[in-house]
Structure 1
């Protein structure tokens, strides 16, 4: 006898997989999130201030 499947679950699984691939494409297309950009900017600013703080004046 053939394996029984729930068509509703199969449909939802197929749609979920399609949504995952679409999300991955959008992440690649639109780049870095706003929060990640802000974190990178803060880290660069902190590094710059730290470097300026330890700079020697000759």
Structure 2
């Protein structure tokens, strides 16, 4: 016979695990310093300017 489990506790355990996974994804997406965000913006701007300079006028 199978062990008896408390469904409330199982649901809470499942929800906690899902919340931790979501928090980890959010840390990757939003957990950057202001300096990192500015560096990425500057790099994107530089790449955009470099591409614009390489355009040919027809």
TM-score by length of 1: 0.53
* Equivalent residue, structure 1, for 2:53: none
- Structure 1: unaligned runs, 5 residues or longer: 38-58
Residue 31 of structure 1 and its aligned partner are, at CA, apart by: 2.3
* Equivalent residue, structure 2, for 1:15: 15
**Post-superposition CA distance 1:15-40 (Å, at most 9, x none):** 00000000000000002367xx7xxx
- The answer on 1:2 being equivalent to 2:5 is no
CA distance in 1, matches of 2:17, 2:33: 22
Give the aligned CA root-mean-square deviation in angstroms: 1.8
Change (3 A) 1:33 1:19: farther
- The answer on 1:24 being equivalent to 2:12 is no
